[in-house]
Structure 1
Amino acid sequence: MSTYKLTYFNVTGLGEPIRYLLSQSGIKFEDVRVEFDDWPKLKSNMPMGQMPVLELDGKLYHQSKAISRFIAKKGNLYGSNELEAMEIDATVDSIDDLRQALSTYYWEKDPALKEKLKGIAFEKLPFYLDKFEAQVKKNGGYFVNGKLSWADILWTAYCDYLSFVLAGDPNKDHPELKKLVEKVRALPNIKAYIEKRPKTQL
């Protein structure tokens, strides 16, 4: 039987969707959480000097979306044909565009640039949320074709991080997204993971 080890910081961020996907797919994995102070001495061991990294049977794999797609296929969360898969990929990329815009603004140190990036991010935020809300409503409570996919899991897993960045629930004014997140968090395997995961700041 294959052994899975996921290495990422002790936060939600890019690692959390992979943890959700592994849990939902019923794949047992070692959840290695690196403290920020320990990262410099581990960095050179990582394929591209970044995390998350999935170790599968002793071999290291990197890039969070590549890892997520691999697990999504194993867990039947990647649609039932190529067109569904393309819709899922497009949704995932849109979700990631929003996360990236908010992250870039939030972590920027230069005050003038931060203010500019904040303007860009907060202009995107309602546009993307409204689009996502309409998509979920049109697709029977899920992002694609009325059934659970890794796009739904990605959005739900990112919500902890986005709540930290926004200092509030990103779904609060979008009932369809709120219901989707509640539904995904209530899935038995994901619920069990959430209950046992370490409490983190973000």
Structure 2
Amino acid sequence: MLVLLLGVLDRVACWWAENEGTGVLEKRGAENATVKVNDLPFLTSLIGGSINQVDVTIPRLDIAAEGGAIPITAVRAQINQLDLTASRLNIDKIGQVRAEGNLSQEAFAQLVAKKVPGVKVKLEAGKLVFATQKWGQEILAEGQLSLAGGADGLTPTLVVKPTALKTELPRYLQARLKLPEFLPPINIPITGLPANVQLSAVEVKADHLKFKLTGKNIPLQKNSLS
């Protein structure tokens, strides 16, 4: 009977923690988030002051960036070593987090258009294709996507860079179109990441971009669960 009671208490405590975690994420704009605590038995972790592993899924999470929020979809994250405060009602620090999510082609194109009106970008076979107008004609170019530290060397920044013209033009016109002067690199600083969380990679897929984030020793003392 005691074993059964402890089992029920363990599940109730785990359910409470998952719901509290979901509530915290939703307050920060993560709609319909799902939090799953993988520690068994959970009460042992709670008493010990540290939750070992939590899996999080979020259908959509908006991250602040220059030119507007970046809507990341299908977010999946694994969080390890959540250190609790002495009261056990708040998370003091996250030891490690790994996450990934997608940015749709349409949302990416809108970000670029806000930074450089008149320039369109789309994804084709895992490559970036730019389109703009010159001399009454559409000019196409291929490009690449990379990460940089921004002007301050710290702010994670998407660098969208045209690398080669695709449009065939008469020789005298071709000579007048030079990269990067004609289509300079486009920098999109990402300002909304929490402290100690880094954008570790961005991959170009067939119809979306895949973002990967990592973080260590992330302080959360101000983000109460109570």
| TM-score normalised by L of structure 2 | 0.22
Higher helix share: 1
**Higher Rg:** 2
Q: Which has the higher contact order (CA 8 A, sep 6+)?
A: 1
- Structure with greater strand share of residues: 2
